[in-house]
Structure 1
């Protein structure tokens, strides 16, 4: 299982997601352009030294990501048709999250395997992208018995 971020805007969110990915043993795909320079200090601060433990692949754009993707793409969206508890994840799924400011365009919505909505109380627009990524990744891993790899030593 991997996490993919479509044109992320906020370095701190990417850092937080890299930290989550490191703790869960997941790879991360970054679909450019990003709204900040790679290696931004706020990303490094949020990811701390965990980021070096993550298999990070940067893609120049959506088409490059699609050409490289080796699993079903599962999109987290507020326009999702399926609530998270109804989704059955595959161990090779790629969990896709849109940019904080604009989500993903329609052609990306149309190209994914399934669109998923994290259920929330009425009257709220959305969760932070890093929180959504952690929730969806945890559910995907839960369904597969938490197949976490052995812990690496983080110094």
Structure 2
């Protein structure tokens, strides 16, 4: 079975991480949290946003980016506003696929992006100097669903059923 991996590097806003955890829980994606984080896992804002889904997660914690890379091997795709490739133009492999996202205020380290230009992807948006980027949890959802779409939504419920209303 294909397993998508979502990596958050130094997340700062608990509500975003909570929303991303919920996305991971409902898509079967594995969540990797790379520290230092800007909050504690028991933060009330995190609980409100997604901690009630925490028991459904496949989650791993790392002290640093170096710790993460020492323990993981695979195909890494770095999401950044600085990337040249559009996220939907990439073919995501079904084995060891990692979508990597940086912290809300600064993104991923520039050094990491410079070392991996062919693996850096962007989500298209307007060129507006007054707006930095999409919200982190929205960006993760866009990346997750593009990857899963390419894979044919493995193990996800893809058809619903309307219930007849009796007037």
TM-score (norm 2): 0.84
Gaps of 5+ in 1: 151-155
What does 1:6-45 correspond to in 2, within 5 Å? 6-45=9-48
Q: Secondary structure of 1:8's match? A: coil
Q: Note the residue ranges of structure 2 that are not aligned, 5 or more in a row.
A: 158-167
The residue aligned with 1:119 is: 124
Residue 80 (structure 1) aligns with: 83
Pick the aligned partner of 1:145 from 138, 152, 157.
152
Paired with 1:83 and 1:118, the residues of 2 have a C-alpha distance of 6
- The whole-number CA distance in structure 2 between the counterparts of 1:93 and 1:122 is 29
CA–CA distance in structure 2, aligned partners of residues 58 and 64 of structure 1: 9
Q: Please give the residue correspondences for 1:36-115 in structure 2 after superposition, counting only pairs within 5 Å.
A: 36-91=39-94, 92-112=96-116, 114-115=119-120
Distance 1:21 1:90 in 2: 18
User: Aligned-pair RMSD on alpha carbons?
Assistant: 1.6
| Deviation of the 1:70 alpha carbon | 2.9
Residue 101 of structure 1 and its aligned partner are, at CA, apart by: 1.0
Deviation at 1:149, TM superposition (A): 6.1
How far has the Cα of 1:48 moved from its partner?
4.1
Counterpart of 2:161 in structure 1 is: none
Structure number, greater radius of gyration = 2
Q: What's the TM-score once normalised by structure 1's chain length? A: 0.90
* CA drift at 1:108: 2.1
